[in-house]
Chain A
Amino acid sequence: MRYESILVMSLILGSVRLSFSQESAPNISFEPQHLLTLSSGISSHTVRDEMMSPLLYSGTQVPLAFTYRFRGVDNRHTVLLYFDNTELHSSITRSIRDVAVSHYIKNLHLMFEYSFATGAVVFENLNTACFLGARLTGILNLRNHYVLQDKNHMSAEQMTGVGIHVLTETALQQESQNLLRIEINIPCISYVLLADRYNANVSEKLDNIDFDQNLLWQLFKKGDIVSFNTLFEIQADVSYSVFVTDHIGFDLQYRLLYYSFAQYQDLFHARVLSNQFLLGLTVRL
């Protein structure tokens, strides 16, 4: 699966490289900029959570995302907040209205990111600057699986990871502020919550939690530090920014997020694939 993911990324990179290789050599502006973008569009989630079902569940939803970007002379900073709440169906989902014969999942997906990258190399003949850095990513994927009437159970992953972040920016025309960005992030070390609870119904079993105290802090203390043996995750973004005035522009973004998480070896894998097409309004301060 990892090799397939890498293959996809290679295809994207290769395609973009071929697309722009014959362009003349414009200059990319690196004047410091603050960019705020509010985005929405369509997201598609596909989940196979072995704790819940042997079946694939998938669905689409309208997400909401907010991005702040800082484009410095040499550095890039990005903060992203993302939210969607998707209803996922499987091959045996019949009618959402009739819970007695339905099988579906309500999937809450929250994401927070902070990326930092510094200029590594410029390919002038490709009009492309390449940045290397790190990304801090926090993801909450909370699933409520409705099996039968009055029967539902929950499962969740909450992971906060630090990973390698690669960013390329390509200008389409000389002196243009319209940029094509490609970003790839692979978390290397993550802190995962609900650690020893994953094989149980998490809605019923969170021991030693004092509900009179700060719940988030107590949950946070129950995590595990994991790496590739437990969690494999990849995020890939392709986005294109077009400015119609000096301060107003649009941002078209595609994101692929995939992770495979297993709390215990060979038991209860959760695999989640998220595709997001977002169109955003960008304000340059």
Chain B
Amino acid sequence: MNTMKRSFSILIVLLAVYGCDTMFFEPDPANTPEDNFEILWKDFDRYYAQFALRHIDWDSVYAVYRPQISPATTDRELFAALSSIVLGINDMHVTLYTPMGDVYWKSRMPASYPSRRIINACKYIQCGPPQNGLFEYRTCQDPAIGYMIIPTFSGQGEGLTMADSRYLAIDEILSQWRGMKGIIIDVRGNSGGNSINAETVAGRFADQTRVYSYRRQKIGPGKDNFSSWKTSSVEPKGIYQFLKPVVVLTSRATSSSAEMFVMAMQVLPNVTIVGDTTGGGVGNPIFRELPNGWAYRLSTEMEADAQGRIIEGVGVFPDVPVVTTAADSANGIDRILEKGIETIRMSP
């Protein structure tokens, strides 16, 4: 009988502990318009890394918008207020996701922006049936020049492996192209993804380890709580590195991790960047969510190129600036690709 009592008393204590979440955690914030606004504002206040860079007085944002929010504020009114705030930050990595639509600042690309893609492809490259791989690669009309489109750097490996093994296909392509005079890599339409994949590809063109960017991160709630500047490096990877002339084609649509790829390639002596300035946003965003189910993301760091120039909101400058105009496009001319081919041909 005593054993039963003991077991029962222990069981009671264990069950009490088992249901003790509230002892270790504060309750969730309330789902009210005021709480949702406050959470979003405070998250940006604590985590967003680029206020000073973008000349934003975040306290004044609070002073302007907070009085507009009350318990009677509807979802649509809250959406309007938060959308206005998000758009005012002018950061491509700041996005508000709601059932009423996604709100994000679009880059400075005009509505018609032919620089972002290849034009009149069969004029410049040897067209063929569609390819199934991640990379689209062919030779130019000059068969001594390889042409490769990398449409994205998205994807990640399984578990703790961060690199996506699909990008290792670059080794097979380069082994086929060992005899080429040069290679053109087109990332004009690449909006980024996983920077590790970008480094995986860039390393196949590196002769030695080189620093290609500097970054610093938000490490505290204060506006000036940043880490020291840290370096990112590109280093030789793979069984073979292609060290002959390489041209990387860029545009305003080249953004995020694709810009890291461009920065990594730009420091390599055999690489020339041809095209338009890139989108201008690395930011390393994190996702957040509100008690009403809306989500948003914000940038937690800032990035500078190898020369120390901040690229957030600015972009990476090409070595050879060229744009394809609407008139070029109408005439079937890909001005950027033409310049790329010319650069390879002119190289020693």
Contacts and interface: CB of A to CB of B under 8 A. Distances in A.
**A and B held together in a complex:** yes
B162 A19 contact: no
A263 B286 CA distance: 16
A18 B28 CA distance: 37
A19 B288 CA distance: 48
A71 interface: no
Interface of B: 2-3, 5-6, 9-10, 13-14, 16-18, 20-21, 23-25, 27-29, 31, 39, 43, 46-47, 97, 99, 156, 159-163, 194-196, 200, 217-221, 225, 227, 230, 232-233, 235, 237-238, 257, 284-293, 295, 300-301
Contact of A12 (B13, B24, B29, B97): B13
Contact of B286 (A201, A219, A277): A201
A206 B162 contact: yes
Contacts of B217: 196, 199-200
A153 B230 contact: no
A53 B290 CA distance: 8
Given A201-B285, A203-B162, A210-B237, A46 B196 contact: no
Contacts of A148: 97, 295
A166 interface: no
A76 interface: no
A265 B220 contact: yes
Given A142-B160, A204-B257, A19 B6 contact: yes
Contacts of A142: 159-160
A204 B196 contact: yes
Interface size class of A (residues with CB under 8 A): 35 or more
B80 to A, nearest CB: 20
A232 to B, nearest CB: 11
8 contacts: A8-B17, A12-B17, A15-B9, A16-B6, A19-B6, A92-B293, A199-B301, A219-B160
Contact of A267 (B99, B221, B290): B221
Contacts of A48: 25
Interface of A: 1, 4-5, 8, 11-12, 15-16, 18-20, 22-23, 44, 46, 48, 51-56, 58, 90-92, 94, 101, 103, 142, 145, 147-148, 151-153, 172, 180, 196, 199-201, 203-212, 215-216, 219, 238, 254, 256, 258, 263-267, 271, 273, 275, 277
A267 B291 contact: no
Contacts of B291: 54-55, 91-92
Nearest to A16: B10
Nearest to B235: A210
Contacts of A265: 220
Contacts of A58: 21
Nearest to A258: B24
Contact of A207 (B200, B232, B295): B232
Contact of B28 (A56, A210, A263): A56
A172 B292 CA distance: 52
Contact of A103 (B43, B194, B293): B293
Contacts of A215: 160-161
Nearest to B194: A204
B162 A211 contact: yes
Given A19-B9, A151-B97, 12 more contacts: A1-B24, A19-B5, A46-B24, A52-B289, A58-B21, A91-B28, A101-B99, A147-B287, A204-B195, A205-B195, A207-B233, A211-B237
